A = this chain, B = another copy of it.
Amino acid sequence: MDAASAHATTQSSPPASDSAALASALRQAVHSLTRRFRGNAILPIPQLQALGLIARLGPRTTSQLAAHERMRPQSMAQTVGQLEAAGLVERRPDPADGRQQLVSLTAQGDASLAEFRRAADAWAADALTTQLSAAERAQLAAAVPLLLRLADGER
């Protein structure tokens, strides 16, 4: 049987009007890239994401961070616990509400973030430079905000 022809639309660039085919192609690309990032990371990706999030937002509770990343608070708490054990973040109780714990970067976390990020993304930065033209990089840069909009969407 010629199975290839039946699903060819997921292989090449799908027509823009066909959201279903585009969604499938996107899933494929996104999961392949996730594995590449994970395989090349020096710090577990969730830790790197959380570190960057705290750096951008400033001190926040674990629950706030979890909501921002669309994860369960317990899942984020584990990541934050690992960062705390590594000395990259610290938790201090909110004086106004003893139930809350504000997570903030330590001096070490702040100092290390750029280097962690550079190391974790080095392979991608290299691939972007060597495998894509400047025009293609610009095309991709324009598409990234669209990807983030999809990821952050309500549905």
Task: Note all chain B residues with C-beta closer than 8 A to A130.
Answer: 155
Of B10, B35, B134, B153, the residue contacting A127 (CB under 8 A) is B153
Of B20, B28, B122, the residue contacting A49 (CB under 8 A) is B28
Q: What are 14 contact pairs spanning A and B, CB under 8 A?
A: A3-B56, A3-B57, A11-B56, A16-B134, A16-B142, A23-B122, A25-B144, A26-B33, A29-B148, A31-B45, A36-B150, A123-B155, A130-B155, A139-B143
Given contacts A110-B3, A121-B24, contact A13 B150 (CB under 8 A): no
Given contacts A4-B57, A131-B153, A139-B143, contact A37 B32 (CB under 8 A): no
Q: Which residues of A contact B (CB under 8 A)?
A: 1, 3-4, 6-8, 10-17, 19-20, 22-37, 39, 45, 48-49, 52, 54-58, 69-71, 105, 110, 113, 117-118, 120-132, 134, 136-153, 155
